[in-house]
A and B are shown apart, each in its own frame.
Chain A
């Protein structure tokens, strides 16, 4: 079975600094997708960034970027120029298969605090 592990239950970062959240996963599939979701206090699940396993280039979305190491099954999220609004729970998630119609497997999350 596929599993997703986030080894940092809590992290903190100073405003304007950079922080990296770790995620590892276990799968025997070759075709899959990886995601980072943000869950602010409102509890809404917000997609931050996604990575297709077949793409070697790391995904970026503005201040958010990933370091995807397929052989090591590692998928870390880097947040640059951290802002107070980045404070939230961050979940790493995995989905197998080429289509969008498979369930997500989530890690337990990392709670990020941003210090002013």
Chain B
């Protein structure tokens, strides 16, 4: 157990709909990352938040948005869903800069949310 939680585990919805994926990082971690893994593909970085602020953006579609709340949990909103959005969505967290010990350069992954768009 990485300490990162994601809900829901599975989500089935129809094209055109909107969904929200939720992530709670490990206690003390300030960074949250969202990754998308399409069928039999590697993980693609979508977006990163650090202590409530957007830090980096990857291949995130305009139909997708995210935010990080004061309690550091994050939500990824996917709208106008298309069949091609079906994927496994991972959240990861990492400790703040200057953290001592071996964790400081590691990202800890949640179990993922499997989204199926029909």
Contacts and interface: CB of A to CB of B under 8 A. Distances in A.
Contact of B45 (A47, A100, A103, A108): A103
B58 interface: yes
A100 B42 contact: no
Contacts of A91: 42-43
B24 interface: no
A33 B95 CA distance: 15
A110 B56 CA distance: 27
A62 interface: no
A106 B97 contact: no
Counting contact residues on chain A (CB < 8 A from B), the size range is: 20 to 34
A9 to B, nearest CB: 9
A44 interface: yes
Contact of B56 (A50, A103, A106): A103
A52 interface: yes
Interface in A35-52: 43-45, 47, 50, 52
A38 to B, nearest CB: 11
B15 interface: no
B114 to A, nearest CB: 8
Contacts, number: 65
A103 B33 contact: yes
Contact of A47 (B44, B104, B106): B106
B111 A100 contact: no
A98 to B, nearest CB: 8
B50 interface: yes
Nearest to A101: B31
A100 B105 contact: yes
A50 B104 CA distance: 12
B96 interface: yes
A108 B104 CA distance: 25
Interface string B30-47: 110101000001111100
30 contacts: A43-B111, A44-B109, A45-B43, A45-B90, A45-B92, A45-B109, A50-B106, A91-B43, A95-B107, A100-B94, A100-B95, A100-B97, A100-B103, A100-B104, A100-B106, A101-B30, A101-B96, A102-B48, A102-B56, A103-B33, A103-B45, A103-B56, A103-B58, A104-B35, A104-B92, A104-B107, A105-B45, A107-B42, A108-B42, A109-B42
